[in-house]
Amino acid sequence: MQTLIIINDPPYGTERLYNGLRLAHAMLKRDGGVTVFLLGDAVSGAKSGQKTPDGFYNIERMVTRVTTKGKVLLCGTCMEARGLTEDEVVEGAERSTMDALAEATEQADKVLVF
């Protein structure tokens, strides 16, 4: 089964990105096909070099875990609006487009939005 998870919220301040990635990890453990598409402030979650306090979750590491078995796509327009370049994102996360999101939506068996 192919699942698309669309996430809009920033990496810190709310827990939607955190929980969306937790669900992606759980689904990947079950050998499900997972694509995570980050929109808006969520693209900042794929920025490399994040430093978080000890004991606090680190979204960068969570995004990287998804890229090992699944796919992480980043809205290119959202990246530009936030001054985020492809060189600044974690390895395995890919700059993408709304056309790619439309295609992933058509191909998915389930679409979840956080």
Per residue in 60-94, pLDDT (tens digit) is 999 999 999 999 999 999 999 999 999 999 999 99
- Return the HEC string of 89-108: ECCCEEEECHHHHHHHHHHC
Arithmetic mean of pLDDT, 37-59:
96
Q: What is the CB neighbour count within 10 angstroms for residue 58?
A: 16
Question: Running DSSP on this structure, what letter comes out for residue 89?
Answer: B
Which CATH number fits the domain 2-48+58-113, given the four candidates 3.40.1260.10, 3.30.1360.120, 1.10.357.10, 3.40.50.720? 3.40.1260.10
| Sequence-separated (6 or more) residues with CB below 8 Å from residue 101 | 6, 37, 39, 73, 75
pTM for the model stands at 0.95
CA angle 5, 7, 12 (to 5 degrees): 135
d(CA 8, CA 42): 5
Quick one: pLDDT band at residue 39, thresholds 50, 70, 90?
very high
Residue spans of the domains in the chain: they are 2-48+58-113
- Mean per-residue pLDDT over the chain, rounded: 97
